[in-house]
Structure 1
């Protein structure tokens, strides 16, 4: 790496190896690292730390850390530290299989919270002090300010509050990303908060770099490593059908005058179904749209390139390797159309409500009345976490949840009598879409919501079974508002655990 990426002579003098940097992290520390959905996470120091932890364990020493990030990261961070049994506590979101296994085995404590809450809860002191921050950047300016890389996440908070700071300067990241970021320093603690002056998706309200107290920087590490996100599979027929139902609904809302012709700012979760929806929007004639979301994935990059999307605001990327190369190749084009913000702004509930976002997120299951479980399998086993879906679902103009109607080769129904875990209550869910149809739950009391879900979303192989439960619950003498048969409400889940299928 040339010295051009580290233009501050003061910080250039602190360049050390990843191993030397990792030596600053001590057992039991709370360590806050950059990273959001496989982008912008440190590539070298976590690996060196994992090796150090493994050596300590061989020597019979206890060495684990409390780990905070923006969201999920990648094998070089979550994976390496989990395999080394180096994490005592993890928050706020993860997707790593080794970490997940340990969480569900009860050997790794996990705090699953709304992403918009992380920075403010840390500022409030709910999790104690941050001992060390490890943050990837794309470069360091002459004045020592930091050029963020492909995610910002909670980096502002980590740099502000950490006692020690380790910086990874990754020259794999495009130099042209400089200027894409908007770091807002106007937040304050209650009761001294002021309104955030963001009125439109493309408003810039902050700075293009991150501040850091140079006295806290103990190490700078040069790296060259790619972000790691899995390639998206081509949309299957199920995803295409889900997308078609949703797009038909949005077109109907435009005709009714409830949405403008260019819709309202889009928020999209990550995955093949949201990508299929984005592709469908492009093909359906929508233009001049905007996105106010957490993550830009391949579909949004395509929409920007094709002129379908005018501007996109995010805090990180989830791009396939091919899309990453497209992004780097045409970075000047995207820098004019993408604004990257801190996580506390990208997910801020008040901004989501003010802008009127259309929120599109996945789910594990929903029940007859529209309560949604997006985190736990069979009520107990964590999958990934709530992420930012709650920030958007509760505050959006339209709260939409998308899912295939079945899982595990049809042995599990995604529509059940009662969800085994609640992340989004019926009060926060507007629309549910499966490959069989769309249930519009707006303005409906519970039993009418159940009819919509039964008629439009449930897989035919489960429809009679679920309708039978609902009819018998509705005839029961106790409680007609939200009918349930408590001895049977979770029987579908228990049947799957006992027999491998929810079918009666």
Structure 2
């Protein structure tokens, strides 16, 4: 590890994960690194979970508040949730154990726009950050820190925490050195100034993180991979969604509303996003750029091929195969990838200024274009809003995508009224399913409903949704956004009772 910890003062603070975990105590607020399974601490959370288990065994309370960049991995979220060590979790998660405990009411979870958390912490809304646990790739001779595979909120944790634990992970490739851009603007309202970024490739900060040596209480050496699962090959629904979206973008280019190389792309994580990237790779589009949160396999291939000139993000989200591809081309990619803190990558002003095309997934949408991206049947948390809201409200085009059905055809993605609203109709430009694409721009509520009915709804559910809309038009109290309130959530109730949103006749046909 000598080439990874090159500053003698930091080297003198090397400790085991078990020793470092002693600095975290019951009731503390802890900021941890990590964003979509990349760059999270690999050793200290497990050692902390063992401490918590011992404390609980002795009848002593031990729970902490955990703030991160986004989701992490089983070694962090899963390990601490399993031992009932989390009192509050913010701002995004995807771990099954943690999700189960959130939905069972065992801990508090606060779902926050990813681009807003760092500034809320800086404003003091969360109180003080007691300890930061941050993974890095190396410590230079001058004491500057080489960030790892995600930046997330790490600068804020290092700046705001009373004490800092650094995990130096030699698994993180040396090629990351120089790939980051950490911007510093410590001013608070009303003295904040515009972030001087006018192109996704602009570098406006330093490649390195900084922390005073006297604030660091432990340096832990690790050698462990990021935990990102392999991506599945795109299925027929994902490929159909990608094809509809590509055709729409071609139309927009022909209309002169976007340039031939499109606008900076923001893409959420998942198989639909990778299918779209694969479609771009096979398309006529060239000279692409991205201003996004994560770089996953499909976007990496666009960068390697030269189809995409550069990508600005806050994190990688690569499969094991994607990591190998990155390492093969790391030197060339160093000038084409920029990793920033998420307060910059997700900044609403920058999204609006750059005119991003925002592509995000959804759980469901309703007739009028309201989108639910977080809650199952209105009450059960899935993962969280993530950065979709940062982009959706401010993008040049705000696109939401999902297959038209879920649970083997028993759930319709398009419903009379969403059971939870994350993105209102005012922030949704386009809805795409495997059935087609509905362009909702400049349409009234009833016009949006007709576009969604015509283009997006699965045939198994279209007759029932058309019937609901027709009866709402005739019998609704108000005619601007027609609803039959006693029936508006009946599809969700039917699913909770019977396990299917299909009506009796449609269910019989499905069976």
Q: Per the shorter chain, which TM-score range? A: over 0.9
Counterparts of 1:72-471 in structure 2, within 5 Å, are 72-471=71-470
Q: Deviations over 1:394-426 (max 9, x none)?
A: 000000000000111111100000000000000
Once the two structures are overlaid, the 10-residue window that deviates more, 457-466 or 328-337, is 328-337
Deviation at 1:329, TM superposition (A): 2.8
Tell me the CA shift for residue 284 of structure 1.
Answer: 1.1
Distance (Å, rounded) in 2 between the aligned partners of 1:460 and 1:325: 42
Counterpart-to-counterpart distance in 2, 1:477 and 1:293: 41
Cα RMSD after superposing both structures: 0.7
User: For each residue in 1:245-277, what CA deviation from the matched residue of structure 2 results, as whole angstroms up to 9, or x when unmatched?
Assistant: 000000010011011000000000000001000
Structure 2 counterpart of 1:21: 20
> Aligned residue pairs: how many?
503
Q: Which residue is 2:496 aligned to?
A: 497
Is the Cα contact below 8 Å between 1:136 and 1:170 reproduced in 2?
A: yes
Retained in 2: the 8 A contact 1:33–1:70? yes
- Give the 3 Å change call, closer, same or farther, for CA 357–215 of structure 1 in structure 2: same
- CA distance in 2 between partners of 1:332 and 1:171 (Å): 18
Distance (Å, rounded) in 1 between the aligned partners of 2:77 and 2:159: 23
Q: Is the 8 A contact 1:14 1:218 kept in 2?
A: yes
Report the Cα distance in structure 2 between the residues aligned to 1:429 and 1:332, rounded to whole angstroms. 39
TM-score where L is the length of structure 1: 0.99
- Where 1:312 maps in the other structure, the secondary structure is strand
The Cα of 1:326 is off from its aligned counterpart by 1.5
Runs (4+) of structure 1 exceeding 6 A deviation are none
CA distance in 1, matches of 2:410, 2:282: 34
SS of equivalent to 1:136: strand
Local SS of the residue matching 1:115: coil
Distance 1:467 1:37, change over 3 A: same
**SS in structure 1 at match of 2:290:** strand
Q: 1:167-224 deviations in whole A, cap 9, x for unaligned? A: 0000000112100000000242101100110000100000010010111100000000
| TM norm structure 2 | 0.98
Deviation at 1:477, TM superposition (A): 5.3
C-alpha contact 2:176 2:334 (8 A) present in aligned 1:
yes
Distance 1:252 1:149 in 2: 40
Q: Is the CA contact 2:432–2:438 (under 8 Å) kept in the aligned structure 1?
A: yes
Separation in structure 2 between the aligned mates of residue 116 and residue 323 of structure 1, nearest angstrom:
26
Unaligned runs of 5+ residues in structure 1 are none
Deviation at 1:145, TM superposition (A): 1.3
